[in-house]
Amino acid sequence: MAGTSRSGGRNRVPTEVKVKRGESVRGVPRNVALAVVKDSGAVQSAGVPEPVRALIAGGDGEELWQRLWAFSAAWLRPDTDLELVQMLCEITDEEQQLRKQVRELGDWRDRVQLRNLEKMKFSMMCALGLTPVDRSRLGAVAVKVETQMEMFRKSVNGKRSSQA
């Protein structure tokens, strides 16, 4: 099915949808197991590493730091990805401050710098595998969060199958 006249070609189906349908995807095996992450229910500060350099307290960078380490732990490692995550969070803080400055003063130079920061931020997010396309390139097609109810059901089903 072709896209509209202005879409630049066929509308692409995301890799996750293709894998779920069972279609073959270039570079991805047909039967891909989902990475399972247990849901703790709340952000636990014990599992979140401390930033290398201080972030703005209560800012977007600090919030991003907490979210990345709490929910993306399936593929992020504190020993190898710490500096890149730190830089991403610092750029997020700078972007927040620069955006406020652009709204107040409206200088075109600040607006250009803001767009450059956004490009840098996006490229770092891609490097960390935080977009669906880059996760599929890294081989982590999808990450499924396993809730406590799903863990309970799995254990009950396992016990029932072993009894039969």
Specify whether the CB–CB gap between 102 and 110 falls below 8 A: yes
User: Is there a domain that residue 91 lies in?
Assistant: yes
- Residue 40 belongs to domain spanning: 34-149
Instruction: Identify the band that residue 91 occupies on the pLDDT scale cut at 50, 70 and 90.
Output: very high
- pLDDT tens sequence across 33-89: 555 545 544 434 447 888 888 888 888 989 999 888 887 657 788 888 889 999 999
CA-nearest of 111, 113, 109, 132 to 121 is 113
More confident residue, 7 or 148: 148
Domain assignment present for residue 108? The answer is yes
Look at the chain and report how many structural domains it folds into: 1
Looking at the domain assignment, is residue 160 inside a domain? no
pLDDT at 94 over 90: yes
pLDDT of 113-156, one tens digit each? 999 999 999 999 988 888 878 877 766 555 555 677 788 888 88
- Of 100 and 7, more confident: 100
How far is 12 from 116, CA to CA, in rounded Å?
A: 27
Q: Is residue 103 part of a domain?
A: yes
Q: State the pLDDT confidence band at 3, using cuts at 50, 70 and 90.
A: low
What HEC string does 25-79 produce? Answer: ECCECCCCCCEEEECCCCCCCCCCCCCCCCCCCCCHHHHHHHHHHHHCCCCCCHH
pTM over 0.75, yes/no: no
Task: Say how far apart CA 48 and CA 73 lie, in whole Å.
Answer: 9
Whether 4 is covered by a domain: the verdict is no
Q: Is the pLDDT of residue 30 over 70?
A: no
Distance CA 142, CA 70 (A): 17
- How many alpha carbons fall within 13 Å on the CB side of residue 65? 28
C-alpha to C-alpha distances, 130 to 74, 90, 109, 148, nearest whole angstrom: 11, 17, 29, 25
What per-residue confidence (pLDDT) applies to 151? 82
Does residue 154 sit within a domain?
no
User: Is residue 8 assigned to a domain?
Assistant: no
Using CA atoms, how far apart are residues 26 and 21, in angstroms rounded to an integer?
14
Helix (H/G/I), strand (E/B), else coil: 144: strand
Residue 64 inside a domain? The answer is yes
